[in-house]
Structures are given as C-alpha cells and as structure tokens.
C-alpha cells in the first residue's frame, strides 16, 4: 500500500466515492505506519478524544510516555485517525501492544487485577456500541451506551441472550428482543 500508485488505487475503490482523497489517505497512512509504527510507551495527542478537552495540554507532534498521566494514544500520530479508529484500536489492539495481555479480551494478563481496555471505551459508532453491548451481556451486564455504566442483567434478559435474543437500536436505545415471536401492528404475529 505504501508503494501504491494513486490511479491504481482509485480504480479499485472508485465505487466508494471520494476515491481520490481516500487513495491518497490510504497511501499516506501506510507510509507513516512503515516509517513510525505504533510502539509501547509512545503516545500522541488527539484533540477532544475521548472527552471534549482531552489533548489540549499536549503540543502537536509531542510524544509522551506511559508515565505521563495526560490523555494520549499510540496511533494518534497516524493520518486520518479519528474517534472510530481510536475506539477500535482501544477495543481490539491496545492491551496487546502495551504488553498488558496477550489479546484484547485480557487473556494472559500480566496482573490479576487487570481490566481489558474494551471495558472502558464508550464509542459513538453504532456497530461498536452493539458489539460492546453484546460483550457486556456475555458477562451478565446491561451496558449503557451513553455513559458506559452497567447494571446487572436480569435472569429474563440472560435467558433471552442464551437463546439467541437479538439486540437492536430503537429511538436511540439498545433493545434486546427477548422472544422469537413479535406482535405485528395488525395483531398478527410474525
């Protein structure tokens, strides 16, 4: 990808729209990744992530280490990285890079009190929210997508989840469909 020619990449991704911009960004990301891969102990600012004022106390291009308490991220120096990328990185990759666990679920954690990074992420993306809702439910919790707070799931909710209940977003809230039979508007069932 770092050696790709823009016209060749444009031809492959033209159906996505904004193909010229996307092609240049992909190539730039690949080149930056090769020149300066994310490393343990090297964090960079991302303004207003995850909170509104986060990153303001770090200079542009400043690299801070893990001892520094300021909010910064290992991949924030890469071009095109925004909240979705950072949320995904935190959920699926960060613990392993930092040497805190062997995978993103906390397998092989270095300390008994270790909590995986995915448990503190509160993403804005609906698919990442759905995934975390499911992950928390597997652990017996109903997760609030707005605040990140969790409450113990009822036995009814857990039974529905074990039977393959489906979570979906309705009016801005996640709903767990607890029955395979759903009443239609006309009183019939589907």
Nearest in space to 79 (alpha carbons), one of 65, 95, 61: 61
All residues at 6 or more sequence positions from 125 whose CB lies less than 8 Å from its CB, including other chains: 83, 84, 87
Residues composing the chain:
190
- The per-residue pLDDT for 183 is 46
152 burial (CB, 10 Å; 0-12 / 13-18 / 19+) is exposed
Residues 8 and 22 in one domain: yes
DSSP state of 14: G
Residues 188 and 140 in one domain: yes
Could you list the residue range(s) of the whole structural domain that residue 169 is in?
123-190
Residues 111 and 130 in one domain: no
Nearest in space to 50 (alpha carbons), one of 72, 18, 79: 72
Nearest in space to 174 (alpha carbons), one of 139, 146, 138: 146
Residues 51 and 88 in one domain: yes
Tokens of 29: 């990301």
pLDDT in tens, the chain (190 residues): 999 999 999 999 999 999 999 999 999 999 999 999 999 999 999 999 999 999 999 999 999 999 999 999 999 999 999 999 999 999 999 999 999 999 999 999 988 899 999 999 999 999 999 899 889 998 999 999 899 999 999 888 888 778 776 666 667 666 666 555 544 444 444 4
- The per-residue pLDDT for 178 is 58
- The per-residue pLDDT for 158 is 86
**What gap in Å lies between CA 176 and CA 173, rounded to an integer?**
10
Task: Determine the number of helices (DSSP H) and then strands (DSSP E) in the chain.
Answer: 6, 6
Question: Which of 90, 121, 152 is at the close of a domain?
Answer: 121
Question: Which of 121, 138, 173 is at the close of a domain?
Answer: 121
Residues 148 and 97 in one domain: no
Question: Cα–Cα distances in Å, from 175 out to 134, 159, 168, 172?
Answer: 11, 15, 5, 10
Question: Which of 121, 147, 180 is at the close of a domain?
Answer: 121
């Amino acid at each position: 990808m770092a050696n790709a020619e823009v016209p060749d990449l444009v031809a492959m991704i033209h159906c996505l729209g904004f193909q010229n911009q996307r092609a240049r960004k992909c190539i730039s990301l690949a080149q930056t990744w090769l020149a300066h891969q994310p490393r343990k102990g090297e964090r960079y600012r991302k303004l207003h992530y995850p909170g509104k004022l986060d990153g303001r106390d770090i200079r542009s291009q400043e690299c801070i280490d893990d001892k520094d308490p300021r909010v910064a991220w290992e991949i924030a120096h890469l071009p095109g990285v925004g909240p979705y990328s950072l949320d995904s990185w935190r959920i699926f990759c960060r613990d392993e890079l930092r040497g805190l666990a062997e995978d993103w679920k906390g397998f092989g954690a270095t300390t008994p009190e270790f909590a995986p990074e995915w448990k503190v992420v509160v993403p804005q993306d609906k698919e990442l929210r759905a995934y975390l809702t499911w992950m928390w439910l597997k652990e017996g919790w109903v997760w609030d997508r707005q605040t990140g707070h969790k409450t113990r799931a009822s036995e009814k909710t857990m039974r529905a989840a074990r039977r393959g209940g489906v979570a979906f977003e309705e009016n801005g809230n996640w709903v767990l469909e607890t029955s395979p039979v759903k009443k239609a508007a006309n009183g019939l069932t589907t």
